[in-house]
Amino acid sequence: MARVYNFSAGPSMLPESVLNRAAAEMLDYKGSGQSVMEMSHRSKVYEEIIFSAQSLLREVMNIPDNYKVLFLQGGASTQFSAIPLNLLNGSGKADYVLTGQFSTKAYKEALKYGDIKIVASSKDKTFSYIPKLNKADFTPDADYFYICMNNTIYGTVFHEIPDTGKVPLVADVSSCFLSEPLDVSKFGIIYGGAQKNVAPAGLTITIVREDLLGHARDITPTMLDYKIMSDSDSMYNTPPCWSIYMCKLVLEWIKSLGGLEAMKERNVQKAKILYDFLDGSKMFNNPVNPADRSMMNVTFVASSEELNAKFVSQATAAGFVNIKGHRSVGGMRASIYNAMPVEGVEKLVEFMKEFEANN
């Protein structure tokens, strides 16, 4: 069996031990005589899966008791509308920081529902940095303040969580979920699509502070109402059963390795290997502000378009796949989520060194 090193930004690699476990349990989950894919979500055997996924997530992320965990569908993009529909219920105002395509999409969605302000943006330099935030620009009576924590396409991250005082902070953490410890109590809502770092596609996780529940606008579709989802333990309708099961296996894997502290240590090590090489290279260069570099998505460009294309094609042939940058920025991007082994990054750097020497 030949497995490649998959640097995809999402869906992305899953830990091999998790895939093996899922394969072993595929036809007969714990003596039930069924696959998890075939079970009723109302069965005892499935209830055990969804409730332990939730309690494991609470344990691994150290989620305070006054937060609810919701297992939803529709991807992170559906939350772009769910957030204003659930939270824009006081002044009708919200602040957004634009640090890339996903926060811009979220902003445009929110514009449909209220008085939305861009408090800072890094669009002027193709989102290659995290803009400085000035508290004087914040809307004091905003219903919430929105950021995209890790910018998957551009390879930047908020290393500091903005202090928004009493205004609830909402963060899209799709591409940095479970990559390191995070102080959940600093946020009103944390959410993300699972397909980057948590599970296969189909599951969206929203962690919401209890006092933010129950104020959705009248027009909010039932499926987007956090209170309804919370009251029904994320089973108002059929949940994404298989992805939730895979999420549980991934959380067990994280726990077995030592939790989020250990994840962070591994992720820091992997990112350092790659950035150290890029900083010393005469051919490759990382185009983002060094202080804002992401640990999960490392973007880089070679010295010409021709070399970019040649690199992508030779890397793919050598088993380093999905390394082409996002179509909007070009160049290359290595997404090195939790499941990418250190060895995968070491081998990629060896390959890049050779490529540089030969070209």
Ligand X SMILES: *Cc1c(COP(=O)(O)O)cnc(C)c1O
Task: For residue 148, give the nearest of 126, 166, 122, 124 by alpha carbon.
Answer: 122
Q: Which is nearer to ligand X, 128 or 139 (CB)?
A: 128
Packing angle, helices 305-317 and 342-358, rounded to 10: 130
The dihedral of CA 151, 152, 157, 162: what is its sign? positive
Q: How far apart are CA 334 and CA 9, in angstroms?
A: 8
Is there a contact between 128 and 154 (Cβ–Cβ < 8 Å)?
Answer: yes
What is the greatest pairwise CA distance in the chain?
Answer: 63
148 is a contact residue toward ligand X (CB under 6 A): yes
Q: What is the 3-state secondary structure (H, E, C) of 215-251?
A: CCCCCCCHHHCHHHHHHCCCCCCCCCHHHHHHHHHHH
Q: Which is nearer to ligand X, 160 or 218 (CB)?
A: 160
193 is a contact residue toward ligand X (CB under 6 A): yes
76 is a contact residue toward ligand X (CB under 6 A): yes
Which range, of 75-83, 111-119, 222-230, 322-330, touches ligand X by CB under 6 A?
75-83
Q: How far apart are CA 134 and CA 243, in angstroms?
A: 40
State the nearest-atom distance from the C-beta of 83 to ligand X, in Å. 12
Q: Which is nearer to ligand X, 173 or 249 (CB)?
A: 173
Is there a contact between 260 and 122 (Cβ–Cβ < 8 Å)?
Answer: no
Binder among 55, 77, 285, 303 for ligand X (CB under 6 A): 77
Q: Which is nearer to ligand X, 128 or 152 (CB)?
A: 152
Task: For residue 300, give the nearest of 345, 330, 342, 271 by alpha carbon.
Answer: 330
Burial status of residue 55 (CB atoms within 10 A of its CB: 0-12, 13-18, 19 or more): middle
Is there a contact between 339 and 22 (Cβ–Cβ < 8 Å)?
Answer: no
# of chain residues touching ligand X (CB under 6 A):
12
Interface mask toward ligand X for 93-122; x: CB under 6 A: ---------x--------------------
Packing angle, helices 241-257 and 259-280, rounded to 10: 80
139 is a contact residue toward ligand X (CB under 6 A): no
Count of all residues that appear for the chain in the document: 359
Which range, of 69-77, 135-143, 178-186, 255-263, touches ligand X by CB under 6 A?
69-77
Residue 312, token pair as written in the block: 């992508």
**Residues in 153-172 at the binding interface with ligand X, rule: CB under 6 A:** 172
State the nearest-atom distance from the C-beta of 147 to ligand X, in Å. 10
Q: Which is nearer to ligand X, 8 or 34 (CB)?
A: 8
Interface mask toward ligand X for 264-303; x: CB under 6 A: ----------------------------------------
152 is a contact residue toward ligand X (CB under 6 A): yes
10 is a contact residue toward ligand X (CB under 6 A): yes
State the nearest-atom distance from the C-beta of 193 to ligand X, in Å. 3
Q: Which is nearer to ligand X, 74 or 319 (CB)?
A: 74
Burial status of residue 228 (CB atoms within 10 A of its CB: 0-12, 13-18, 19 or more): middle
State the nearest-atom distance from the C-beta of 247 to ligand X, in Å. 14
**DSSP state at residue 158:** -
State the nearest-atom distance from the C-beta of 318 to ligand X, in Å. 26
Which range, of 28-36, 70-78, 163-171, 215-223, touches ligand X by CB under 6 A?
70-78
Q: Which is nearer to ligand X, 70 or 302 (CB)?
A: 70
Interface positions with ligand X (CB under 6 A) = 10, 75-77, 102, 148, 152, 172, 174-175, 193, 196
